[in-house]
A and B are shown apart, each in its own frame.
Chain A
């Protein structure tokens, strides 16, 4: 028994494809957070007519599996339509790598989620959302379940870091149970905004720091 990783995982880890950022990306998304030890950022360039992913790049702060799954996911997505890429599962990514150790499966989930969220952000931005349900508190809360509370490594809904959400005429206000001058307040504000701003009918996002 050697390393717990397949040859393909090691190969992608050593020579990751599609690394970097796209400055004029059509959409991007971040999943995970440094607090939980894994973070992936995905950038997309999509052909307006054909909806084919023309270019995709990623950045990763994470372990070997994180880098390898992000790399293979971008490789799978490049040249596919967003419709097709949306349907990728973590299993597809893991299979493409000839498997992952069970404790590392969450890395594949993260990479594929980042791709899906980036596509969703693209659809919101370019008016491609099919069931144009107006954004409500439920929708916001669902999205926030992907934002990690940097102090605990759990999501901000579960830890009640975001204690109240208001949605009114395209304006989303989130009340955060944290003082403005706390260590992570800047990160939290950016992440919350990044999560909610892409929604198709959201015009403004406000983050209010209000420590109980």
Chain B
């Protein structure tokens, strides 16, 4: 059997159709996107870029001129937070404790510049505490940034409620939908957000491309100085092949396919949770369709990951031993679990190319690995 990749939450294999759609923009149409008064290659390039923008903007309920292409989710999140700083005289920011590092560390940077930042608590499933949010939002709150769905435990946030609360005090709302984009309905009108982050490579599109939706009238500052690209909001030559690829990948994410992946995820979930002393992390229902996160008691995740890798299965863990910082997952810890619980967590994230037979094999191998490691563990229950 070929290597079984279950780390699609990190990044995905590009779809061959996407790759084919991109190739002409390396080989034939490689000019920069320039004005209508330009040479023909420049106009062709611009048409390609604007075509991609239109497809994506329409898919998220936005106008094309409200979508700024960036290099990916991390840049979009930096842009949203740092670009909004100092645009009004409000000096307060609220982010949740389970945000992606690009939001958390942007918030910390703003904190070091004198902004007041509150880190909003989440419940045991990872959903934000709306009552606490009500208490935290004031007339000084500039921006509330809460992700759409969590990249590690899959929990979907009640963004509609967040927007209602924030808007009562006139605060802007950003949501990081990098993991949701293409997988979950993300409609900026229905959500009511002012800023929304998307990315191309979690839906079998290319890396190095993403976007930030900026609602018309939002006073965001230009983030990257340069030319007048992207409605003068982001300097730098646009990555046209990647933009075309991202649009194509987005088009390929049909409801039918998403339901297939969800069914596979549910199939794996049922099998994995049949292993004794295993617990689902994240929300049981309000959950990203491709995400499964489970803690196995008495054992540590890096050992599980390494054993599975030797069996040609790729997953990740929230264990401290796996991270470069030697800290357990801040996301799991924010849900109030113990260090041990975070150390024993394993994330399985599916994609278009996973097959049911693969998941059967994963379950069989996983069961053996967990049993073996438990045999070694001083914490196992006495039998």
Interface residues of chain A, those whose CB is within 8 Å of chain B, are 3, 13-14, 16, 19, 21, 30, 34-41, 59-67, 103, 150, 153, 183
Contacts and interface: CB of A to CB of B under 8 A. Distances in A.
B340 A63 contact: no
B228 to A, nearest CB: 42
Contacts of B299: 61
Contacts of B339: 34-37, 150, 153
A59 B378 contact: yes
Contacts of A103: 324, 326
Given A14-B310, A37-B320, A37-B321, A63 B300 contact: yes
Contacts of A39: 378-379
A64 B343 contact: no
A59 B340 CA distance: 16
A35 B333 CA distance: 12
Contacts of B298: 61
Given A19-B376, A34-B343, A37-B343, A62 B310 contact: no
Contacts of B321: 37-38, 62-66
Contacts of A62: 300, 303, 321
Greatest chain A CB density within 10 A among B300, B319, B324 is at: B300
A interface majority secondary structure: mixed
B237 interface: no
B303 A67 contact: yes
Contact of B378 (A3, A36, A60): A60
B326 A63 contact: no
Interface string B358-380: 00000000000000000111110
Nearest to B324: A103
B295 to A, nearest CB: 12
B306 interface: yes
B303 A63 contact: yes
A37 B319 contact: yes
A34 B328 contact: no
Interface residues of B, number: 24
25 contacts: A3-B306, A14-B307, A14-B310, A21-B378, A34-B340, A35-B340, A36-B320, A37-B300, A37-B319, A37-B326, A37-B339, A38-B300, A39-B379, A59-B377, A60-B376, A60-B377, A61-B298, A61-B376, A62-B300, A63-B300, A63-B303, A65-B321, A67-B303, A67-B376, A183-B338
A183 B337 CA distance: 12
Greatest chain B CB density within 10 A among A16, A35, A63, A67 is at: A63
A64 B303 contact: yes
A64 B306 contact: yes
B302 interface: yes
A34 B380 CA distance: 12
A208 to B, nearest CB: 24
Nearest to A30: B378
A61 B379 contact: yes
Closest 3 pairs (CB-CB, A-B): A63-B321, A59-B378, A63-B302
Nearest to B343: A37
A39 B310 CA distance: 24
Interface string B292-305: 00000011101100
Contacts of B310: 14
Given A35-B338, A64-B303, A41 B378 contact: yes
A21 B383 CA distance: 14
B290 to A, nearest CB: 27
B311 to A, nearest CB: 11
Contacts of A37: 300, 319-321, 326, 328, 339, 343
A163 to B, nearest CB: 23
Contacts of B378: 21, 30, 39-41, 59-61
B343 to A, nearest CB: 5
Contacts of B300: 37-38, 61-63, 66
Contacts of A38: 300, 321
A49 B338 CA distance: 45
Nearest to B340: A34
Contact of A13 (B306, B320, B324): B306
Contacts of A59: 376-378
Greatest chain A CB density within 10 A among B299, B321, B322, B343 is at: B321
Contacts of A67: 303, 376
Given A35-B340, A59-B376, 14 more contacts: A14-B307, A35-B338, A36-B320, A37-B320, A37-B326, A39-B379, A41-B378, A59-B378, A60-B376, A61-B376, A62-B300, A62-B321, A64-B303, A103-B326
